[in-house]
Amino acid sequence: MNQPEEYLLAIESSCDETAAAVITRDMRILSNIVSSQVDLHEKFGGVVPEIASRAHLERILPVIDDALKEAGVSLKQLTAIAVATEPGLVGSLLIGLTAAKTLAMTLDLPLIAVNHIEGHLFACQMQETHPIFPAIGLVVSGGHTNLYHCSESFEFDLIGATIDDAAGEAFDKVAKILGLAYPGGPAIQKAALQGNPKAFPFPRTFLKDPELRFSFSGLKTAVLYKALGNPGAKKQPPALTEDRIADLAASFQETVVDVLVGKCQQALQKYNYSTLCVGGGVAANALLRERLTNMARQAGIHLSIAPPDLCTDNAAMAAIAWHHLDQGRIAALDLDVTPGLVR
What integer is the mean pLDDT of 43-70?
Answer: 95
Average pLDDT estimate for 239-257 = 97
Cα–Cα distance measured from residue 178 to residue 181, given in angstroms and rounded to the nearest whole number: 9
7-120+312-326 shares its CATH topology with 131-305: yes
CA distance readout (Å), 217 to 47, 139, 187, 210: 18, 18, 19, 19
- Candidates 88, 122, 161, 168; CA nearest to 279 is 122
Q: Is the confidence at residue 88, as pLDDT, over 90?
A: yes
Check: CB of residue 148 under 8 Å from CB of residue 121: yes
The identity of residue 182, as a single letter, is Y
Q: Is the pLDDT of residue 343 over 70?
A: no
- The yes-or-no verdict on residue 204 having pLDDT over 90 is yes
User: What is the per-residue pLDDT for 154?
Assistant: 87
Number of Cβ within 10 Å of residue 106's Cβ equals 10
Q: Residue ranges per domain, the chain?
A: 7-120+312-326, 131-305
Residue from 28, 9, 198, 229 nearest 101 by CA: 9
Say what the pLDDT of residue 280 is.
96
Task: Mean pLDDT check: name the lowest of 1-10, 19-28, 70-79, 221-230.
Answer: 1-10
Note the pLDDT tens digit of each residue in 293-336.
999 999 999 999 999 999 999 999 999 999 999 999 999 999 99
Instruction: Inform me whether the pLDDT recorded for 4 exceeds 60.
Output: yes
- How many angstroms separate the CA atoms of 63 and 10, rounded? 11
Assess whether pLDDT exceeds 70 at residue 94. Answer: yes
Q: How far apart are CA 297 and CA 303, in angstroms?
A: 9
What is the assigned CATH class of domain 7-120+312-326? alpha beta
What span, in angstroms and rounded, lies between the C-alpha atoms of 326 and 141? 29
Average pLDDT over residues 76-93: 97
Average the pLDDT over 213-231 and give the result. 94
Mean pLDDT value of segment 149-161:
93
Whether omega before 134 lies within 30 degrees of 0, making that bond cis, reads: yes
Model confidence at 85: pLDDT above 80: yes
What's the pLDDT score for residue 43?
Answer: 87
Over range 119-140, report the average pLDDT.
Answer: 94
> What does the pLDDT read at residue 236?
78
CA distance 308 to 290: 13
Tell me which CATH code domain 131-305 carries. Answer: 3.30.420.40
- Name 50's bridge partners: none
**pLDDT attached to residue 1:** 52
Q: Model's pTM, two decimal places?
A: 0.93
Q: In what order do the strands lie in the sheet with 17-24?
A: 29-36, 17-24, 7-12, 78-86, 111-115
Query: Within its chain, how far is the Cα of 11 from the centroid?
Result: 15
Average pLDDT of span 113-132: 94
pLDDT of residue 46: 87
Count of CA atoms in the C-beta half-sphere (13 A) of 341: 15
Q: What type of residue sits at position 260?
A: L
- The pairing of strands 29-36 and 17-24 is antiparallel
- pLDDT attached to residue 238: 85
pLDDT of residue 342: 52
What's the whole-number average pLDDT of the chain?
95
Q: What angle do CA 74, 24, 89 make, to 5 degrees?
A: 85
What percent of the chain shows pLDDT beyond 70? 99
Q: Is residue 318 a contact partner of residue 82, using CB atoms and an 8 Å limit?
A: yes
Rounded Cα–Cα distance for residues 147 and 160 (Å): 5
Which one, of 171, 126, 127, 173, lies nearest residue 145 by Cα?
171
pLDDT score, position 239: 87
Looking at residue 88, what DSSP letter applies?
Answer: B
**Separation of alpha carbons 251 and 88, rounded Å:** 30
Question: Residue 2's pLDDT band (boundaries 50, 70, 90)?
Answer: low
- Is 30 a residue whose pLDDT tops 80? yes
